[in-house]
Amino acid sequence: MAKGDRRTAAQKRRALDQNALREYLSNQQHEIHICEICDELNDESVIMDAITVQRKSKVIDTKLRLLNKYLPDLKSIEIESGEKGFSINVMAFNEQNQGSNG
């Protein structure tokens, strides 16, 4: 028997608000702007003073924090079936990569 959604109305509304915010942030293409700024900082032919570099670094840091807060990393999901049933392992993508290096 399938169980219904047991979230309260407030939890459902909060989830909708979070999804709308994630979509809004995705559409703003912050990650593209971050890459453009990184390319500018990496280009040795462009001469920048220390204040400009500091401002660009601050923009990168702020946008990365915003993205990390509302656009979480992808998850890795493994589903295994055996004689005794199913087992599901959910692991953050970064944790999985770190575990394979060590």
- In the chain, pLDDT over 90 holds for what percent of residues? 26
Average pLDDT over every residue of 95-101: 41
Average pLDDT, the chain: 76
Average pLDDT over every residue of 65-88: 66
What pLDDT shows up at residue 102?
A: 40
**Is the pLDDT score of 61 beyond 60?**
yes
**Is the pLDDT score of 40 beyond 80?**
yes
- Residue tagged 């060590």 (tokens): 102
What pLDDT shows up at residue 10?
A: 87
